[in-house]
């Protein structure tokens, strides 16, 4: 599938910034998340940060799917940010059965052998004040994702030589970073995109528990609000996917007890059933028409055998009136899912009416001259205002097509 990323700031698209080819397997590696390392023209010379393997992880059994050591990329903070820490959990879908996990362990999402030795730090990870006004001089860490269950599994399959050790990787990484200075943090933010955004929700209170009460600790979930939605055929594609992940990888023991006490483990992998119980301040950043959820949960090919949704799935401009009504219903479901969450004055919200996925790590969507806005506030400013308590931030966009600042994703 050829991918074009279309930048929309006027009623018509006028800038094609990224063209690339990706293989798309909806249960394994999200095509959309592959954009993560696409560097836009806005940041043509980004900071490249090297991979650090966690050498103490092996003895703890905290290993990737194939048994290799997990790792992270760390750029040290300085000045006023020397004791501030941002942990960004990498995304990249899930694997829900032996076949997809065996495939995954031969990729960077399942083995550190295949991970890039250096990655660009852009958006919320940028070291430039003009690109990342509030977090540019913090210690910024990107924790690589190589377990396939949002850092929550703890099991193995000896026959297939698969290690499902996401929870152990999370713990080993936190222990390693605490020993390298994070224990002295006066402020910390756990964030993540997509599967990493889900992980940031599931691990938020655990992260808070690492620090003394005097430390300001908050969490940010970008594109992690995966809804327990019915697909276009009336089925439950994403619930089936999550059921496989939870069952295969032994996730149930590492989900918030306040949820599993009254709901089944698969339900507790859905953030809508968890967010109301999180005690730590949490910011939810999500596109109301999440591109990944449209392609892989609402209208996947498996639920659309006649291809009625094919064009709409790839390009919102090709959706019929009835398809747009269906997508508006999805937006309504998302807004209903966050009603209780938004009642808390400590939480933050930025739900923009874009066809997008992961907006905090891309420079063009995080903070640029024409990045997406709601009420004239770009995402970076909204998150910063909320984190530092400069002002309450709970902004929800008007429904599509009113927002002309979106950077919509279009696939061809």
Active-site residues: which are they? 194, 290, 357
Degrees (nearest 5) of the Cα angle 194, 199, 200? 95
Buried-state track 228-253, b at ≥16 Cβ within 10 A, e below 16: bbbbbeeebbbbebbbbbbebbbbbe
Q: Is 202 helix (H, G, I), strand (E, B) or coil?
A: helix
Distance between CA atoms of 386 and 383, rounded to whole angstroms?
A: 5
Neighbour tally for 39: CB within 10 Å: 15
**Residue 242 and residue 310 in contact, taking contact as beta carbons nearer than 8 Å:** no
CA quadruple 191, 192, 198, 203: dihedral sign: negative
Cα–chain center distance at 163:
22
Torsion angle defined by CA atoms of residues 284, 288, 292 and 293, in that order, rounded to the nearest 10 degrees: 100
Enumerate residues 6+ apart whose C-beta is below 8 A from 162. 65, 66, 98, 101, 102, 105, 156
Distance between CA atoms of 265 and 260, rounded to whole angstroms?
A: 6
Distance between CA atoms of 412 and 2, rounded to whole angstroms?
A: 5
DSSP 46: P
Residue 313's φ and ψ, nearest 5 degrees, are -60, -35
**Residue 153 and residue 95 in contact, taking contact as beta carbons nearer than 8 Å:** no
DSSP secondary structure letters along 91-123: ------SHHHHHHHTTSTTT-GGGS-SEEEE-G
């Amino acid at each position: 599938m050829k991918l074009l990323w279309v930048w929309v700031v006027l009623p018509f698209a006028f800038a094609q910034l990224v063209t690339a080819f990706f293989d798309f397997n909806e249960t394994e590696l999200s095509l959309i998340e592959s954009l993560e390392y696409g560097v836009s023209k806005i940041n043509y010379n980004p900071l490249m940060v090297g991979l650090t393997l966690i050498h103490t992880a092996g003895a703890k059994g905290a290993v990737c799917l194939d048994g290799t050591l997990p790792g992270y990329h760390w750029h040290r903070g300085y000045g006023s940010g020397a004791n501030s820490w941002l942990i960004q959990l990498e995304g990249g879908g899930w694997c829900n059965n032996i076949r997809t996990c065996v495939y995954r362990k031969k990729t960077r999402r399942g083995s550190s052998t295949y991970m890039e030795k250096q990655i660009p730090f852009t958006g919320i990870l940028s070291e430039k004040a003009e690109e990342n006004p509030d977090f540019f001089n913090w210690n910024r860490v990107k924790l690589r994702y190589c377990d396939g269950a949002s850092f929550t599994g703890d099991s193995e399959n000896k026959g297939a030589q698969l290690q499902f050790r996401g929870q152990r990787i999370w713990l080993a990484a936190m222990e390693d970073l605490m020993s390298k200075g994070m224990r002295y943090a006066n402020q910390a933010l756990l964030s993540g995109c997509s599967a990493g955004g889900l992980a940031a929700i599931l691990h938020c209170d655990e992260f808070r528990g690492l620090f003394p009460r005097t430390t300001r600790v908050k969490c940010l979930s970008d594109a992690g609000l995966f809804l327990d939605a019915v697909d276009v055929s009336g089925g439950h594609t994403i619930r089936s996917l999550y059921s496989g992940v939870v069952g295969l990888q032994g996730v149930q023991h590492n989900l918030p007890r306040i949820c599993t006490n009254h709901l089944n483990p698969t339900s507790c992998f859905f953030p809508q059933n968890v967010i109301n119980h999180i005690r730590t301040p949490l910011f939810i950043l999500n596109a109301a028409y999440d591109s990944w959820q449209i392609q892989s949960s609402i209208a996947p090919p498996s639920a659309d055998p006649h291809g009625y949704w094919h064009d709409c799935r790839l390009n919102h401009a090709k959706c019929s009136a009835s398809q747009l009504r269906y997508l508006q219903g999805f937006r309504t479901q998302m807004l209903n899912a966050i009603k209780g969450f938004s009642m808390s004055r400590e939480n933050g919200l930025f739900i923009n009416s874009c066809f997008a996925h992961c907006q905090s790590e891309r420079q063009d969507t995080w903070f640029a001259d024409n990045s997406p806005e709601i009420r004239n506030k770009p995402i970076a400013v909204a998150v910063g205002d909320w984190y530092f308590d400069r002002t309450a931030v709970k902004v929800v966009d008007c429904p599509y097509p009113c927002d002309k600042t979106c950077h919509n994703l279009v696939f061809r």
